[in-house]
Amino acid sequence: MMSGRHPQALLALLIAAGFWLGSWQLPLFDLDEGAFSQATLEMLSSGNWLTTTLDGEPRYDKPMLSYWLQGLSVSAFGAHEFAFRLPSMLAATLWLLLLFGFVRARSSSPLAPWLAAGALALSPMSSIIGHAATADAILNLLLAAAAFDIWRYFESGSRAAVWRTYLWMGLGVLCKGPVAIVIPLAASLAFAVSTRRWRDWLGAVFDLRGWIVLLAVVLPWGISCWMADDGDFIRHFLLDHNLQRYDSTLQGHGGKFYYYIVALPLIVLPFASLLPGAIKRGVLGDALDRYCLLWFGVVFAIFSMSKTQLPHYLLYGMTPLFVLFGRMAARVPPKPVLLAPAIALLLLFSSLPWLLPMVPVNPKRAWEAGVVSEALAAFDWRYTLICLGTLALCLWSLRRSPVVAVLGCALALNLTLWLGLAPVLAQAQQAPTREAARVARDLGLPAVAYATYLPTFSVYRGAPTPHRLPGPGELVFVRADKLPSLQRALADSSANAELRPVFRRGGVALLQRLPLEPEPTTTPAPTTAPEPAQILR
């Protein structure tokens, strides 16, 4: 089936289901999609393409490549969800095509490239990253390109592959910083040491032309950025968002050394059954298998030692793992073991309308209670119909060969995610924020946010939203659980701070601080009241 007459159509199906489905229908999600999109809008508004701001304040999180690409997309197609997500979807598409071509050229099984590409497209984590209006899909594309060209260099000694690797690393630095250099250098060093090819590694690392390529990519922006603000952006980015992020926990995303041991099977669902065989093949297989396992292992070790941990960080090492998945296509586990994770997750998704009401929610946690309430209302007959359809697809897949069966079940799971579950999550978490933003935009009043970091409010309102207490007459956007804090802060700061509700839904509220009433003008009262007859005359 996979190697039949229409491979292009099958590839298009994987790409569409994995990275494009629902991208133009779902609202932007907080936090990251909102932050990237609003920063891009402020870049376009200000004309400053060297540094970014978010709600009027400097944003030091990432270099500029992803913002430039979003800016070009928004300039071409307008400011809506599809345009913000388009760079990521294109990057994920290229990522999959690179993986497919690399595995097809180095595997004897015709099923190998399909299993590798299917694991990339249909694993929920990589599928989410391929949709999201952030920098991660772009960085994963560049890391994959670097990984494949490094292997081509070890395979054939190609200097062109070395120079391309420096190009990918330079673009990666513009996308997300030094991680785009650290991972390729560390992974290639591990392979060179393990195979006693350290001379080849040194020859590539000290390739002058390669470094010229990398610097030619990075320095024009770096020098211009440094001159524009005396290095403020670059210092904050390198120190706060790289060294400090690695050395200390930021934004509550702390973890333990075993964090990614637990997270890994969840990240590769529904292909978790392939993990033991892939690791075994990496240990016992040929040089390419070892290279793939070492690349993954280096990424796993680097981020396991980091004090700030997020699941998608491990994706930087998943491309070589997907290569291993593909190369074991001829020797996959027995079908019951292979399909168990996909079927279990699909049944879990299908059961959510009945399971969610059983989850205890503290009514005092107003934000969470509001989101759960909206989610319960969003589970309707359409969700049930989608689940029945995808379960039928999964049952059809069970009668096929093991690789086709697991890809069919994974496709069913992905369709459930993007046609059923993602719209429910959007309705629960994002629809109230989007509606509040549109109400604020239509009122045309100044608006602020208090103790609430949901940047999509600014995107849909069409203007930056300062973070502070509201002044008289201003609107204030606030999470429901932050309302008591807002009222206390206003009471402490002013004796005349009455709030009028404007909008409330789910876990958010929009209020207006009433304007100050003008002081009444006083006229001296007459000592003797005139008689009515005198007034009439």
Determine, yes or no, domain membership for 2.
no
Pairing of strands 447-449, 57-59: unpaired
Determine, yes or no, domain membership for 194.
yes
- The reply to whether 81 and 190 lie within a common domain is yes
**What SS3 class is residue 496?**
coil
- The reply to whether 176 and 246 lie within a common domain is yes
pLDDT at residue number 526: 47
The residue whose two tokens read 């999180």 is 61
- Alpha helices for 106-207 (secondary structure H): 112-122, 124-131, 136-156, 159-176, 179-194, 198-205
Determine, yes or no, domain membership for 269.
yes
- The reply to whether 447 and 418 lie within a common domain is no
Residues near 274 by beta carbon (within 8 Å), at least 6 away in sequence:
119, 268, 325, 328, 332, 333, 338
- The reply to whether 310 and 440 lie within a common domain is no
pLDDT at residue number 524: 52
Tokens of 227: 């001159």
- The reply to whether 96 and 108 lie within a common domain is yes
- The reply to whether 478 and 355 lie within a common domain is no
Determine, yes or no, domain membership for 478.
yes
How far is the C-alpha of 2 from the C-alpha of 338, rounded, in Å? 18
Count of domains forming the chain: 3
pLDDT at residue number 495: 61
DSSP string spanning 298-312? HHHHHHHS-SS--GG
pLDDT at residue number 245: 61
Buried b (16+ CB within 10 A) or exposed e, 185-198: bebbbbbbeeeeee
Last residue of a domain, one of 277, 302, 332: 332
- Alpha helices for 380-525 (secondary structure H): 381-397, 402-415, 422-425, 431-443, 456-461, 483-493
pLDDT means over runs of 10, the chain (537 residues): 71 96 93 96 96 92 95 96 98 98 94 97 96 97 98 96 98 95 97 95 96 97 91 82 60 67 91 96 95 97 84 92 95 93 94 90 84 92 95 93 95 96 95 97 96 96 95 95 92 80 95 76 47 32
- The reply to whether 353 and 447 lie within a common domain is no
Q: Contact, 433 vs 426, CB < 8 A?
A: no
- The reply to whether 481 and 507 lie within a common domain is yes
pLDDT at residue number 115: 97
Determine, yes or no, domain membership for 519.
no
C-alpha distances (whole Å) from 54 to each of 180, 213, 301, 440, 464 are: 24, 32, 33, 19, 7
Determine, yes or no, domain membership for 529.
no
CA angle 387, 388, 390 (to 5 degrees): 65
How far is the C-alpha of 28 from the C-alpha of 34, rounded, in Å? 6
Determine, yes or no, domain membership for 314.
yes
Last residue of a domain, one of 432, 452, 484: 432
Determine, yes or no, domain membership for 337.
no
3-state percent breakdown (helix, strand, coil) of the chain, nearest 5: 70, 5, 25
* Domain ranges, residue 377: 343-432
- The reply to whether 143 and 288 lie within a common domain is yes
- The reply to whether 299 and 444 lie within a common domain is no
Q: What is the pTM of this model?
A: 0.91
- The reply to whether 482 and 358 lie within a common domain is no
pLDDT at residue number 520: 54
Run of H or E residues at 504: strand 499-505
- The reply to whether 135 and 233 lie within a common domain is yes
Buried b (16+ CB within 10 A) or exposed e, 106-138: bbebebbbbbbbbbbbbbbbbbbbbbbbbbbbb
Query: For residue 50, how many other CB atoms are within 10 A of its CB?
Result: 15
Last residue of a domain, one of 312, 332, 352: 332
Query: For residue 347, how many other CB atoms are within 10 A of its CB?
Result: 12
How far is the C-alpha of 390 from the C-alpha of 392, rounded, in Å? 5
